[in-house]
Structure 1
Amino acid sequence: MATRAALVVLLALSLAAVAAPAGRVDPAPKLLDLQVSNGSTPFAGDRRLLTTVSPNADGFRDRAIVGFRLTLSATVELDVLQTVNVKRGKNTVQTISSQRQAFSAGRHRLVWTPDRSVRSGTYVLELTVTDAEGRRRIYNDFPLAGRVRVRAPVVRIQRIDVSIGPRYAPGQTAVVSVATDARSLNVDILSFRNGRGAADPKTNASPIAPSAALVWRGHRNAPGSVRIRIGDWPSGLYFVRITSRDGRVGYAPFVVRPPELGTSRIAVVLPTNTWQAYNFADADGDGWGDSWYVNGAFRRVDISRPYIDSGIPYRFHDFDAAIMGWLSARGNIDFLTDLDLEHVANGDLLAHDYDLIVFPGHEEYASAHEYNLLRRYRDLGGNLMFLSANNLFWKVVFQGHEMRRVGEWRNLGRPEASVVGVQYVASNYGGHQGAYIANTAGAPWVFAGTGLSTGDGFGRYGYEIDIRSPATPPGTILLASIPDLMGPGRTAEMTYYETAAGAKVFAAGALNFAASVDDPVVARLLDNVWARLTRP
């Protein structure tokens, strides 16, 4: 398989032609009446250049058929492009299948039958037409402002797409949207708090009740709805899991919030803004994931989209699953989303309701309201615990279901270190990790019972790291560091500070810190910090 940078695809948008004698330029061959279908019934939203395929070998929607009328005899090459391939912070375009065939002028078709292993999402079917004289025309589509768009067929690989609102209170009814051509389904609700039985391998959560069976044959051509009444369930993170007999599975996360804020004195805020920023799902069907991580031309993301990776937030199992289990074992806690914070009027109310607010994940995206809320909460003596890195980095604004990225908070005159204690300095996407080196002198209570002394190492951390800055509150204590992890001066720092108002703030300083909570040393360290910060 060949891997090409998105820039290569962009350059391919030009139409090549070879000059003919006497100064005349003969046109490259064209594909007219270009269209794509699945050979079966269209799924809702399919159109002339978009079709839905579900590769499960049941004879229904198993292949993509590209039809066209060729103006001249030529060779037509079909390359299937996986346009979402975000690695090491950059997106590349990967060719996962190729075929080439010579045709005479007239009507023809090419067929792509994807393997079961092809990931869910949309794929661009790039077509290159070359005649005997070398004249060439390329059909693909790169959605960049100001560029000519040469439309190409797009195939949506569908298994089970599940969508649900992000937050519910006990007693509310959740409407779950399900898109699949399976004839029957099983529905489970998974929980980290009150689940029973074997843990789900992708989420680490367990079912709270036996599966519910659904007959789905009447919804094979369009999304259908499933209604789930939220019971008197403990506040926490839950997943809807929907499976079919042939092994397809789809998930959707949601939070059961407390009946009212302040039911517990401790709140955990899940990074739902960041989850959607890293959601590469293609809602408009143009073949490209709707995220600025896929294409920098994007400035807005739809926060109501299902998550692309079977419905699970990006790298949830790597970075979030372990800490969800640890937090769920802490007893009565109010679980909230970023959206819940948007509905809290001010930091005074937040300080009235909570002694401690925990951010277990990558809280990279924050609105002005959330930033103001947390700063005021801290100024009134509220305690904060940041268990990841790169927090409060980007300012975002909301318009309906859309989230728009505005700029970095530090460039807007409000550096995140003024609240968190540290701020983002570098990333290496996990390419090189190192052990934190303990510095026990400043706050020995953090390391009590861990067996660590100053100079001892623990854990393996990296991906994204934080460091102190001139905006760091005075008196901030350095608890541990990974010196020069990502180059000279690019050191990961774990910190703790207190304010005159009584606020206590802990920052882990490394993106994957919370994922190491199964390490007994890290678990004891977190127990110590938890005990200190849960006290008013």
Structure 2
Amino acid sequence: MRRALALLPLLIGALVAGSAPAAVGPPRLLGLSISNGGHPFLGDTRQLATVSPNGDGLRDRALVRFHLDRAASVELQVVATSSFGRPPTVVWRVRRSLAPGPRALTWKPKRATPDRTYLLRFVVKGKSGSRVYGFERPRPGLPTSGLVVRILGVDVAFQQRGYPVGGQASASIATDARSVRVQFFGYRGSGSPGELDAKTGASAMTPAVTLDWRGHRAAPHVVDFGPSESWPSGLYFLRVTTSDRRVGYAPVVLLARRPSEHRVGVVLPTNTWQADNLRDANGDGWGDSWNADNSLQAVDLRRAYLDSGLPDRFRSGSGAVIAWLNRTGKQVDYLSDDDLAAVSSGDALRRLYDLVVFPGSEEYAGRHAYGVVRRFRDLGGRLMFLSAANFHWRAERKGSTLRRVRPWRQLGKPEAALVGVQVTATRRGGGKAYVVQGAGAEPWVFAGTGFADGSTFGRFGTEIDATTRQSPPGTVVLARIQRAIGRRSAEMTYYRTAAGAQVFAAGTLDFASALGLPAVAALVENVWARLA
């Protein structure tokens, strides 16, 4: 213990910048600060600078200043952090041999540098050893000992996740371009006219409108929009394109003109989208997501998404289901998680809908929403889960933040009792085929697919679900991936209740990515026809 205590002052000295020089030990960087050359964006500090490498001369560089107490080799590393299980990436580095005194280093990012935050890590080496600043894991309430650069592209975020059709929708836009073009895109039926957006797969709903942005180049600005009353309920994207060709998107759910306009409700996983969003709002260089920082107390529901504004895995998840719904002419009401939570009771939800579909991972649900869906099921309502890890965490909204509480199974409400399965393992990449084993028990599921017991299809396994002892009696395993992740198997299931409820669960996070396969699309069509 005495040996550990003796090392503590050295560890503290290695992390704290700005303290007085020591007579012994490695060289120090004192007074570390950063700027973009005199054009701060809202939120910039001496530890955080916003840079937009578009070549206009406004915010094209990050300028690091410090005082070196002794001659040393100083290496500056620009680091992109990621989620758990993925190593950080050094995107740029420079090493200089410097004399003592006031010094500066400059990073001029390339135009194609992804817009996000980057941690700056400094490795200082001298005759008496080396010292490192920056790149700690997230520390609640404590800043990094290094510096952070925020690359600004176009950050776009609606102030709410859902708005009524024909109502006013407000979006925050942050960019330092001189002008922007705004345009709405949506998912319409197969063969609909209009420009197709390559990134979202959505079609143009409006012409592009140009806005003068010269008065908003140093802070976000909110713009009000009025989506047409003629648009159907659905998911839409606002696309913002700057005069220097940067592009950002923001998703928004437009609600039906009146509740229960159709007897099928589709709940988009807007809580999970933000919980998985690695956008760094607090400026510490790490994504504000429980996938990157388990100590995080809450996530901000109003953040713009990374990847130019698309939720994580959107095209292969919820987006694939939305495309299938439109391609097959399904008439549904779309809801966000906020809209589901606003339904007063399970009885009210049952009066509104016969079937509720969850196209993506409905991982985070509050106590009220969980109770509403369970009561809906108990009253004979049908449920369709086309992803995995559904109703895994209890998470409560407070204002504009979502706070994670505990897994539902630890609160005496295992999700398998509702969904039929619950998440058992997580892994990115890879995947194995489902093997059919329920064709004899539920032949209608596989009608017209060409599948029989023993048939295989797809490659899945990013996150997987399986039955437990808490699964409802009579739950049928339709297909299984043996040892999908390690020794864990994935299971696709179906169960019915005496009250008339029917519940289908796909069992894998990436199931929707196979909807382009005719046999898989036929399977989902069979389930839809029975449940709807």
Q: Say yes or no: TM over 0.5.
A: yes
Q: CA deviation at 1:75?
A: 2.2
Q: Which runs of 4+ in 1 moved over 4 A?
A: none
What is the one-letter code of the residue matched to 2:208?
S
- 2:166 maps to 171
- 1:458 maps to 457
Q: How far apart, CA to CA, are the structure 2 residues paired with 1:492 and 1:129?
A: 49
Deviation digits for residues 128-181 of structure 1, max 9, x if unmatched? 3333332535345543249x7553221000110101121000232111111111
1:399 counterpart = 2:411: no
Tell me the C-alpha RMSD between the 2 structures. 2.0
- 1:409 maps to 408
Distance 1:136-1:388 versus aligned 2 partners, 3 A rule: closer
Which of 186, 190, 198 lines up with 1:191 in the alignment?
A: 186
What is the one-letter code of the residue matched to 1:152?
G
Q: CA deviation at 1:491?
A: 1.7
Name stretches of at least 5 consecutive residues in structure 2 with no aligned partner: 1-9, 16-21
Alignment of 1:57-136 (within 5 A): 57-83=55-81, 85-86=82-83, 90-134=85-129, 136=131
| Residues 29, 137 of structure 1: 8 Å contact kept | no
What is the one-letter code of the residue matched to 2:279?
A
Q: How far apart, CA to CA, are the structure 2 residues paired with 1:135 and 1:271?
A: 47
Deviation digits for residues 337-388 of structure 1, max 9, x if unmatched? 1111111111000001100000000111111111111110000000000011
- 2:447 maps to 448
- 1:324 maps to 322
Q: How far apart, CA to CA, are the structure 2 residues paired with 1:44 and 1:25?
A: 40
- 1:5 maps to none
- 1:468 maps to 467
Taking structure 2 as the reference length, what is the TM-score of the superposition?
0.92
Taking structure 1 as the reference length, what is the TM-score of the superposition?
0.91
Deviation digits for residues 215-238 of structure 1, max 9, x if unmatched? 212211111222210221100000
Q: How far apart, CA to CA, are the structure 1 residues paired with 2:442 and 2:130?
A: 72
Percent same amino acid at aligned positions? 48
Q: How far apart, CA to CA, are the structure 2 residues paired with 1:145 and 1:235?
A: 40
Out of 317-326 and 89-98, give the one that drifted further.
89-98
Which of 206, 213, 229 lines up with 2:203 in the alignment?
A: 206
| Residues 436, 461 of structure 1: 8 Å contact kept | no
What is the one-letter code of the residue matched to 2:392?
F
Distance 1:401-1:25 versus aligned 2 partners, 3 A rule: same
Q: CA deviation at 1:511?
A: 1.1
Out of 431-440 and 385-394, give the one that drifted further.
431-440
Which of 199, 221, 225 lines up with 2:222 in the alignment?
A: 225
| Residues 439, 455 of structure 1: 8 Å contact kept | no
Out of 137-146 and 391-400, give the one that drifted further.
137-146
- 1:52 maps to 50
| Residues 135, 146 of structure 2: 8 Å contact kept | yes
| Residues 13, 139 of structure 1: 8 Å contact kept | no
Q: How far apart, CA to CA, are the structure 2 residues paired with 1:141 and 1:292?
A: 17
3-state SS in 1 of match to 2:291: coil
| Residues 133, 145 of structure 2: 8 Å contact kept | no
Q: CA deviation at 1:420?
A: 0.6
Distance 1:105-1:516 versus aligned 2 partners, 3 A rule: same
Alignment of 1:347-362 (within 5 A): 347-362=346-361
- 1:280 maps to 278
What is the one-letter code of the residue matched to 1:193?
R
Q: How far apart, CA to CA, are the structure 1 residues paired with 2:87 and 2:386?
A: 30
Which of 128, 131, 145 lines up with 1:151 in the alignment?
A: 145
- 1:259 maps to 257
Distance 1:371-1:197 versus aligned 2 partners, 3 A rule: same
Q: CA deviation at 1:295?
A: 1.7
Which of 142, 151, 154 lines up with 1:160 in the alignment?
A: 154
What is the one-letter code of the residue matched to 2:486?
G
Distance 1:136-1:492 versus aligned 2 partners, 3 A rule: closer
Name stretches of at least 5 consecutive residues in structure 1 with no aligned partner: 1-11, 18-23
Q: CA deviation at 1:328?
A: 2.8
3-state SS in 2 of match to 1:92: coil
Which of 309, 312, 315 lines up with 2:307 in the alignment?
A: 309
3-state SS in 1 of match to 2:259: coil
| Residues 253, 312 of structure 1: 8 Å contact kept | yes
Out of 453-462 and 341-350, give the one that drifted further.
453-462
What is the one-letter code of the residue matched to 1:362?
S
Q: How many aligned positions are there?
A: 512
Q: How far apart, CA to CA, are the structure 2 residues paired with 1:368 and 1:133?
A: 58
- 1:235 maps to 233
What is the one-letter code of the residue matched to 1:202?
K
Deviation digits for residues 401-424 of structure 1, max 9, x if unmatched? 111111111121111111111111
